[in-house]
Amino acid sequence: MPRQPHRPRRPAPKPAACPCGTPARYEACCAPLHRGEATAATPEQLMRSRFTAFARRDEAYLLRTWHPRTRPPRVEFDPAMRWTGLDIEETTDGTAFHTIGTVTFRARYTDGGRPDALHERSRFERVDGAWVYVDGDFID
């Protein structure tokens, strides 16, 4: 019986890091928040999970984590836009002892294949004990 040629095994692909920029996999990072199994402990964690929700087009999570006072009726996703990375530049307040906090970030994206970035200082508040996004100011 002729022997089959030896084919080297390809290593199993590594699980992708979460889009939010942490080295953790999505399932261990933002997914529990998106599924409602956990809530963000800080405004930064909420910002990261919201970035991932934009990247994954999770309208329900975005609306659920938006302050009722400023929440739009729906989230429109541009089909030509792809969110590609998040850099957190600064956070203020937002600990267990605060009711407000800010996160300054740069969110990278491509629009029709052209790279660009959104630079914003976002405001967060606690509502019924949970952090929610209020609004933000564009920088640059």
User: Quick check: is 86 in a domain?
Assistant: yes
User: Quick check: is 37 in a domain?
Assistant: yes
User: Quick check: is 21 in a domain?
Assistant: no
- Cα 41 from Cα 84, distance rounded (Å): 24
Tokens of 115: 């790279």
> Mean pLDDT in runs of 10 for the chain (140 residues)?
59 76 96 98 98 98 98 97 97 95 98 97 97 96
Q: Report how many domains make up the chain.
A: 1
Tokens of 50: 């919201």
Tell me, what's the pLDDT at 16? 75
Tokens of 36: 């409602």
Q: Which domain holds residue 101?
A: 26-138
User: Quick check: is 20 in a domain?
Assistant: no
User: Quick check: is 6 in a domain?
Assistant: no
Helix (H) or strand (E) holding 110: strand 100-111
Tokens of 19: 């889009």
CATH code at 113? 3.10.450.50
